[in-house]
Chain A
């Protein structure tokens, strides 16, 4: 049986009359990477701040490995490594100094500090930067220091708030790989608004919009919504619509432009072969045939605008 390491129960948070997070419940399993998706201002960061004890919830509770965040904050916080959106780095210190302090603050035994600093640096590819001042590091390396700081005490749960924002594509790939590696041993929650990132890194997705949880399921569920029953077909000598409709299995044809068509069909049967055969027979000049996938962006927009 899967063990849940984090439980958020009926979590709500108001800022004055403005409801930032509205009655969210979810749990996180051991060794799971959970993606937190949502447009800007959806309440992702607020939720994360509540999970890490930086902000008191207006209602509801957070349990970390069974320890309540309000009743037993010290125990609960020991289990968490957190990287906020704005990385909290003391820039006047060197990487080694900063990580040593982070280890000490997170109650790593003094005899093990050296080792855990080394292993965190190793995991994040920081070993050759040990003696550099954090101030002088590039954006990507600073982000790595931020992640190293979050995993230094080998926590049960690592919470990362938009870990790839503002990085270049190579750094993003490296950070994603790093998150995947972390996910093998720890539970990870990461928030983002970049959809492909979720697809690449996460096991499970939660979409949050205007403080409400609008989707909670595995990445497979999300992908299922993506795989449509449509084909995108291109012809050089475009036939008439009714000629296409005559092909077996085709239920609807939408014309996109002079050469491209979107062909709808029934779920069970893909009429790709029939279309190709008919097209070559009648010399339509077929040059493109591919499944037409709804982009994750579209699903995201659908889900987040459902309420409106």
Chain B
């Protein structure tokens, strides 16, 4: 049943120009970053003579591409998540889902999975794009796979937060703006305590947890952070919709 809801979401995303436009813009953005990374690599590396200054092309270009994912997603995801529930509220289509033999959890998880699958297209695209470097260089696929995994977790967390804000209102625009503000805050939290890398406040920041992926490290504590984040906000959303049923 979760898969059926996810399929419906994907269908709706591709039935409107919104999905295509966002996907195209993101691909353009990441494509540009890739090109920029490759150009810079040659510039920087031709200047560094000593072997100690040299860096692999994978990590150099990869950091350029994946490192910016934070900010690109902060802008793109609110636009995609805003309609998930508030649009259904506004056009009064929620009863269609609620009177079908599907549980609330299945509806919310289905929508979440649908959106993450949609954005996985982007993750695969970035992976393939960076893999093309293998034609003339010998790249580190482990780094790419690790980062793809991290990016999926980041996208998942952003989507979970977006779905929650979308469930609070029947105005998609309000959902989008509040999601954007929340995501932006999550991403820059870490900068507030940048002087002290071990400050507890910094650990709340999403950027900090995503950074270790862009360095090529998969840390279980980071993975746990993202997964807990996703579970928390999906649960909040389910509770929120359930309270609609109870209080009307």
Contact = CB atoms under 8 A, between A and B. Distances in A.
B98 A105 contact: no
Interface string B13-43: 0011000000000000000000000000000
A149 interface: yes
A53 interface: yes
A101 B98 contact: no
Given A74-B103, A92-B16, A105 B92 contact: no
Contacts of A174: none
Interface stretch (A83-91, A194-202, A215-223, A249-257): A83-91
Interface in B65-113: 91-103
Contact of A77 (B7, B12, B16, B101): B101
A106 B16 contact: no
Contact of B95 (A13, A54, A56, A105): A54
Interface in B216-248: 245-246, 248
B91 A91 contact: yes
A88 B94 CA distance: 7
Contact of A82 (B93, B95, B246): B95
B100 A56 contact: no
Interface string B160-188: 00000000000000000000000000000
A54 B107 CA distance: 14
Interface residues of B, number: 25
B54 interface: no
Contacts of B103: 73-74
A80 B101 CA distance: 9
Given A97-B11, A101-B11, A104-B4, A90 B93 contact: yes
A107 B99 CA distance: 12
Contacts of B16: 92
Contacts of B92: 84, 86, 88
A82 B95 CA distance: 8
A90 B91 CA distance: 9
Contacts of B99: 52-54, 77, 80, 82, 84
Contacts of A106: 100-101
B8 interface: yes
A13 B245 CA distance: 12
A75 interface: yes
A15 B248 contact: yes
A138 B183 CA distance: 41
Contacts of B7: 101, 104
The winner among A88, A89, A97 for most chain B CB atoms within 10 A is A88
A54 B92 CA distance: 12
B2 to A, nearest CB: 12
Contacts of A71: none
B4 A105 contact: yes
Nearest to A94: B15
Contact of B96 (A55, A73, A88, A91): A88
Given A90-B12, A92-B15, A104-B4, A53 B98 contact: yes
The winner among B4, B8, B92 for most chain A CB atoms within 10 A is B8
A75 B102 CA distance: 10
Contacts of A92: 12, 15-16
Contacts of B5: 105
A93 interface: yes
Given A77-B101, A93-B15, A106-B100, A88 B8 contact: no
Given A104-B7, A106-B100, A149-B96, 5 more contacts: A15-B248, A56-B246, A77-B99, A89-B93, A105-B96
21 contacts: A15-B248, A49-B95, A52-B99, A54-B95, A54-B99, A74-B102, A77-B99, A80-B99, A82-B99, A88-B93, A90-B8, A91-B91, A92-B15, A97-B11, A104-B7, A105-B4, A105-B100, A105-B101, A106-B100, A106-B101, A149-B96
Interface of A: 13, 15, 46, 49, 52-56, 73-75, 77-78, 80, 82, 84, 86, 88-93, 97, 101-102, 104-107, 149
Interface of B: 1, 4-5, 7-8, 11-12, 15-16, 91-103, 245-246, 248
**Closest A-B pairs by Cβ, 7 of them:** A88-B96, A86-B92, A88-B93, A105-B100, A77-B101, A82-B99, A92-B15
